[in-house]
Amino acid sequence: MFRKLLLVVIPFTLSAQTDWPTWGHDRGNQRYSPLKQITPANVEKLKLAWSYDVSEAQPEPVDDPTGRGGRGSAARRPRVRRAQSMPLVVDGVLYLATAYDRVVAMEPETGKRIWTFESKHTPALRGINYWPGTKDLPPQIVYGTQDGMLVSLNAKTGKLVPGFGNEGIINLKTNFAEKYPKQQYGISSPPAIFRDLVITGSGTGEQAVVGIPGDLRAWDMKTGKLVWRFHTIKEDEWKPEEAAERSGVNSWGISTIDVESGLIFIPLGSPNIDFDGTARKGSNRYGSSIVALDAATGKVKWHFQTTHHDNWDYDLTSAPILASVRRNGRNLPIVIQTSKQGLVFMFERATGKPVYEIEERAVPANNTIPGDEPWPTQPIPVKPLPFSRNSFKPEDIATVTPEHEKYCRELLAREGGAVTGGPYTQYGPKLSVVFPAWTGGNNWGGGSYDPQLGYLFVSAKNMANFNKMVQSADGKSWRRVPPDDAPENLGDYFWDGTKQWPCQQPPWGELSAINVNTGEYAWRVPLGSFEELDAKGVPKTGTPTTNAGSIVTAGGLVFIGATVDGKFRAFDSRNGKEVWVVDHSADGVSNPITYQGKDGKQYVAIYAAGGRHKELVPGKLFVYSLP
């Protein structure tokens, strides 16, 4: 029964299981590979097979016999562009979109280029998707762009597909966004694909109250014509004057397809403006919610709001994960949604009924900005317990070194002492420590799921915002700002930004395994470390994460970058033991993938960029295999 369900959610053919044909490996976004050539017993033998510098036109040959990934620099360094792209591997070809205005097809065993497509439209931050085509149409690489285009390329040639929209490109702003030409509108994540439909979300920015809608739309892959549109804000479900032309409640993360039932599960963001709810009274229906739609028609089947009247920017971003739990002797199909506030919500796929009880718990209304009406409760699952920190008391100040403790205590005492507490401490006129920060918790990187173990693997960024709200000059809105005379590199966080050390006791980053059948933790370990603290003999602290996530394999390994120490790691999926680490001196800003090459080898690849302490370094794709 269970194996039959697993085969349904993996797309294309059974051989595709050895590829990585879509963002989450399968349409259910489990990020689980059945490959098992690499195991905890041999993973330490992994060597760098090849790498590709995304800012260059050619793959970089391997000149690093140590297999450590190297610290070299390219001969020239163009301006650095932000990206979190992950490649796809389908039928013997690796496809990668870069922030340098190109999509590249390469041999996945060597990095040798097959074709390159260059355009003035920069691909979405997090990559591309693959449509297998029909008997009359070729397989296609389809992706959104940061300036609001939808592009389809012939996967064999890299040429635009003439029958798709206007010679291979759809302008998603046409008849949709012209009224607000100055507002940000683009695509930041791969679109979802259901049969012959490509389904797009959007990034609308977070500041415009009135502006471009966050609606979901589906397009015919054969013609590029619009098939359906789902309105995420409806005047009959809001106060009409507050709903009219409001922007936000958009899906900038990754959606999930249940091929068997025909449902698409969409993580939706918060309504604009973030942090200021004075002009959007009520719970704000569909804001910060998971919504199940009929993928063929766009009709709502059910939804669940994970944050009412969201004043924290706790929008849902990570891909919902299709899984199953044992109930009454049978496998119950479920969908799992992780959140920025470190919560795991599990629902029956067909009905939206919670698998584990979800309580509406009272939350504080102190430090509220004038004119706002915070929602009195928030939904919190009884199981699993939160996987990231969601509260803070002054006695929780970090004591890893005397100097850091002094810095943090002085920071906390600023402006008469910051408001603490939680969860759901309010942003308000007084300085507040808010856990988790608006970046999570867990962000777009999401989790991975091993159907054999029944384990969900999720990384946590234990970081707090350190902000207050101030009124705009015209008195019409409020905005979030750091404390007055903020220390160097503080930004929005409660930390020493120069060292990137948070101001609460570690762990600062964690990787956890949750047994979905019981709702209990199988294991929980720190993720990452700081060399300076390691040298002082401080127990492993973990590091803040880059918001990326993990993958898991049948070989018993969880692979993850995601830390700000520039390293890429593997953990034993059964017990959380760290069994391999390689130093890229560049942060794993994307989720890894694994695939089998034509040579029979299993490869593991990850895109890394940046560097220690946010040094601007163009990204590289690092690809590993056994000797």
The answer, yes or no, to whether residue 5 has pLDDT greater than 60, is no
The answer, yes or no, to whether residue 463 has pLDDT greater than 80, is yes
Task: Give bridge partners of residue 622 from the DSSP assignment.
Answer: 51, 606
Could you please report the per-residue DSSP string of 175-205? TTTTT-TTS--B--SPPEEETTEEEE--B--
The pLDDT value given to residue 16: 56
% of the chain surpassing 90 pLDDT: 83
The answer, yes or no, to whether residue 103 has pLDDT greater than 80, is yes
Q: How many CB atoms lie within 10 A of CB 195?
A: 11
The answer, yes or no, to whether residue 489 has pLDDT greater than 50, is yes
Mean pLDDT of 598-618: 80
Residue whose C-alpha is closest to residue 499's, from 394, 398, 404: 404
The answer, yes or no, to whether residue 13 has pLDDT greater than 90, is no
Please check whether residue 202 is in contact with residue 185, taking contact to mean a CB–CB distance below 8 angstroms: yes
User: How does residue 137 score in pLDDT terms, banded at 50, 70 and 90?
Assistant: very high
Instruction: Report the 3 state secondary structure along 499-535.
Output: CCEECECCCCEEEEEEECCCCEEEEEEECCCCHHHHH
Q: Which residue has the higher pLDDT, 481 or 10?
A: 481
Q: How many CB atoms lie within 10 A of CB 74?
A: 13
For 223-280, write each residue's pLDDT tens digit.
999 999 999 998 888 888 888 889 999 999 999 999 999 999 999 999 998 999 999 9
Strands 550-553 and 557-560 come out as antiparallel
The pLDDT value given to residue 611: 59
Residue whose C-alpha is closest to residue 453's, from 386, 513, 520, 510: 513
Structure tokens at 507: 């762990």
The answer, yes or no, to whether residue 568 has pLDDT greater than 90, is yes
% of the chain surpassing 70 pLDDT: 92
The pLDDT value given to residue 73: 34
The answer, yes or no, to whether residue 4 has pLDDT greater than 60, is no
The pLDDT value given to residue 314: 97
CA–CA distance, 531 with 521 (Å, rounded to integer): 28
Average the pLDDT over each of 52-61, 73-82, 117-126 and give the range with the smallest value.
73-82
Task: Give bridge partners of residue 143 from the DSSP assignment.
Answer: 151
Average the pLDDT over each of 182-186, 409-413, 421-425, 615-619 and give the range with the smallest value.
615-619
Instruction: Say which DSSP state 556 is in.
Output: S
Average pLDDT, rounded, for the chain: 91
Mean pLDDT of 429-434: 97
The answer, yes or no, to whether residue 571 has pLDDT greater than 50, is yes
Which domains are delineated in the chain?
2-73+84-625 (2.140.10.10)
Please check whether residue 308 is in contact with residue 356, taking contact to mean a CB–CB distance below 8 angstroms: no
The pLDDT value given to residue 79: 56
Structure tokens at 435: 């856990």
The answer, yes or no, to whether residue 614 has pLDDT greater than 70, is no
Q: Which residue has the higher pLDDT, 13 or 605?
A: 605
The answer, yes or no, to whether residue 70 has pLDDT greater than 50, is no
The answer, yes or no, to whether residue 157 has pLDDT greater than 60, is yes
The pLDDT value given to residue 64: 37
The pLDDT value given to residue 78: 45
User: How does residue 602 score in pLDDT terms, banded at 50, 70 and 90?
Assistant: very high
Task: Give bridge partners of residue 354 from the DSSP assignment.
Answer: 347
Mean pLDDT of 113-132: 95
For 26-51, write each residue's pLDDT tens digit.
999 999 999 999 999 999 999 999 99
Instruction: Report the 3 state secondary structure along 249-316.
Output: CCCCCCCEEECCCCEEEEECCCECCCCCCCCCCCCCCCCCEEEEEECCCCCEEEEEECCCCCCCCCCC
The pLDDT value given to residue 408: 98
Average the pLDDT over each of 15-24, 54-63, 433-442, 543-552 and give the range with the smallest value.
54-63
The pLDDT value given to residue 81: 75
pTM: 0.93
